[in-house]
Amino acid sequence: MTPQSISGANFGVGVLSSVMSGFGGYESGQKQKAADDYNADITLENMRDQVEANQQKFSSLVGTQAGRYAAAGVDIASGSPLLIMAATVARGAKESVQIEEAGTEEAAMQRYYGKIAAFSGTMSGIGSFLSGLTKASTAYYGAKAPTPLPAGGGGDW
């Protein structure tokens, strides 16, 4: 085997290695993005469950208030009892909105982190590919380049 064929084989292996390394970086970023997207979906589902639980809690509270006022013989269709129950409903709605905003915001951040991971993986993959290609090319051309003559013409040493 000649040195040129060995350097050509090494070049091919170097290029293949850089392709594999680049693809690995890309895949890593895509898998992290998929995991972050999944986490965002779970966060939204949990948020919906919390909003529903909050609404049930406040509906039950208003029902309890109305029952106690009625049992005490107080008219619940007007005046202070009605205002208190309306305030309870408003507080429940406000808490539901806060839960929804927090969940939506967290899910959006998780999706953003996923996009960043995918971009980072792509850039890492491209960088690995180019770095490996550069190293393989440098080694190949270094092996194929003619050996320079010593300074002074190469005559007597």
Short-list 119, 85, 105, 96, CA closest to 48:
96
Which pTM was predicted?
0.69
Tell me the per-residue pLDDT of 2-39, one tens digit each, with 9 for 90 and over. 555 555 566 667 777 777 878 888 888 999 999 999 99
Q: How far apart are CA 129 and CA 104, in angstroms?
A: 37
For 76-131, how does the pLDDT look when each residue is reduced to its tens digit (9 = 90+)?
888 999 999 999 999 999 999 999 999 999 999 999 999 999 999 888 888 888 88
Number of H helices, E strands in the chain: 2, 0
* Cα–Cα dist 95/125, whole Å: 45
